[in-house]
Structure 1
Amino acid sequence: MAYKDYYDVLGVQRSSSEGEIKSAYRKLAKQYHPDKNAGDHKASERFKEIGEAYAVLSDAEKRKLYDQYGHSGQVPPGAWGGAGAGGGSGFSSADYGGVDASQFSDFFQGLFGQQGQAGRGGFRGGGAQVNLDDLMSGMGGGRRFVQNVEGELQVTLPEAYSGSDETIQVEGKRLTVRIPAGTRDGARLRLAGQGPGGGDVLLTIRVLEDVKFDLEGTDLSTSVDVPVDTAALGGSVRVPTMKGDVSLNIPAGTSGGRRMRLKGQGWPSKTGAGDLYVKLNLVLPAKLSDAEKQLYEQLKALRSGQTTQS
């Protein structure tokens, strides 16, 4: 699989700040979000590519390693917490019970993202790690060849909220991973005995930023556009929640920027769900009809007269 440069994917410079990278990600994620491109396979692939690039470039340590080594996974000793893989790795066949290190090139390529991806799951973002001392344990003296492997699995905010089944691939073996509902960023999952030789697969869950919602603690926040006449006279608007759209009553005389709370529509937890806070953005019609212009002129004159009298 040919990989594009992550900086090119996000359209930023290598010297871009963390804020610039985040801004570029948000803009592109909103443009290619599946909700806006239903049935568009290219947009879906682009969205995944954008998420993968952001997962690496938004993490200071991963970005540093990516700047040094790119997608290749050809890292020197110690770069990933143990001896490196491939060229310049600094160990010989004698180091690990007479086994030639070149036998593991395919294994490392899979971990670093160039093989072994399966659908939406898989080790994405080049963040998989292996400790070779553990990986090679037991290779000499007839002992068992056991590999414990670590990786990161990216999921969307809705998937983390509701729970989902993801598919990953380790050494050619497809594994289904159940993401529990309410999973938070940084959560760890252990697939006991599913690694090569009966070792474990240890996954760190990374929840991608969402274009609609922000999560802080157990509270979610979003924003919704409110027509100016609805804000002035009162009415209702549709508001997105993690469970689907709901109707929100807008009191008459509501000002732009006001935040309203939907109790219990936040993130689930053992102590109960948080709340959803909705910021109201007042919007005018992009183009006024002649009748609307006349009404606004009448309103302007009326308000001007009230101001003069007061």
Structure 2
Amino acid sequence: MEFKDYYQTLGVEPSASDAEIKTAYRRLARKYHPDVSKETGAEERFKAVNEAYEVLKDCDKRAQYDQLKAGGYRPGEDFRPPPGFNRGGFQFDFNDLGGGGGGFSDFFESLFGGGQRAQQAPSGSRVKLAIPLERAYAGGKQKIRVGERTLEINIPAGIRAGQSIRLAKQGERGGDLMIEIDYQEHPEFELDGQNVLYTVTLMPWQAALGDTVSVPTLGGKVGLKIPAGSDSGKRLRLKGRGMPGKQGNGDQLVEIEISAPPADTEEQKALYRRMAELYGGA
């Protein structure tokens, strides 16, 4: 198999801080997300970005990877994991989840095992399971590998991070196994309680003149009307598009971010100069 340079994949230096790695991941994940990108090979790039982030966001995985990289491996070179490399214990199968939650490369699996590892309590009766926000939103069946066994659990729609699911008589010595739920970091969404936070990037004319744009939600894409005269930082609300709860769904709050396209041609530069004159910037 080929050695992968995860820092190169995210476009950061090996000395990059956690914040720099997170920023690079979010930028690339949005760029190559299969639901929005029309670039050739976007899906494979999206998977590669998720795999790189899965390693570099975790201090233990990153330290192990850095130790290997210090051995002088280069991207594309033939690689075999050293004998006795620590792959952890409990493993979970995310290959059926999509959204970057699974489908890791042979290189990743040779180092860290298939999918994400659980954090096991000393008693062996409690583990953590990180699930995508889409699975937490919709609920459904989830396969989980515990040692040599494959179990299937039911994820209730709207389950919160920190809540636990009990598997009777599946722990050590016939005791119960507690599955503590955590959320995988999402490339597009953040949570504020039951509300989902999302940032939409608009061209200046869309913000100035108004438009209707397609935005993703945990339940699928919806059309969002952009009022004329919108500015960066303005928040629009999609009612009921947040996480489910006992009192109903939360909302999705969409924050506007305006991006100015580059002026690569003389015609485009002339247009910007004309805009500067009209708006008193010349």
1:166 equivalent in structure 2: 142
Q: Does the residue aligned with 2:247 lie in a helix, a strand or coil? A: coil
Q: Counterparts in 2 of 1:138-287, with a 5 A limit? A: 149-287=125-263
Contact 2:26 2:188 in 1 (8 A): no
Contact residue 52 and residue 124 of structure 1 kept, 8 A: no
Aligned length: 231
| Amino acid in the other structure paired with 2:50 | F
The one of 119, 138, 145 equivalent to 2:93 is: 119
Q: Percent identity, aligned pairs only?
A: 30
Within the candidate set 47, 50, 69, 1:47 is matched to: 50
Change in 2 beyond 3 A, CA 1:217/1:48: same
Structure with the higher helix share, 1 or 2: 1
Distance of 2:235 and 2:138 partners within structure 1: 25
Output the aligned Cα RMSD: 3.9
TM-score by length of 2: 0.65
The 8 Å contact of residues 127 and 180 in structure 2, kept in 1 or not, is answered as: yes
Cα distance in structure 2, aligned partners of 1:43 and 1:252? 33
- In the TM superposition, residue 211 of structure 1 has moved relative to its aligned partner by 1.6
Q: Secondary structure at the match of 1:177?
A: strand
Which of 14, 24, 28 pairs up with 1:27? 24
Distance in 1 of aligned mates of 2:274 and 2:14: 52
Deviation at 1:213, TM superposition (A): 0.9
Equivalent position SS for 1:232: helix
Contact 2:196 2:243 in 1 (8 A): yes
Point out the structure with max Rg over C-alpha: 1
TM superposition score normalised by structure 1: 0.60
Give distance in 1, aligned partners of 2:46 and 2:236.
33
Q: CA deviation at 1:277?
A: 1.0
Matched letter for residue 25 of structure 2? L
Letter in 2 for 1:117: Q
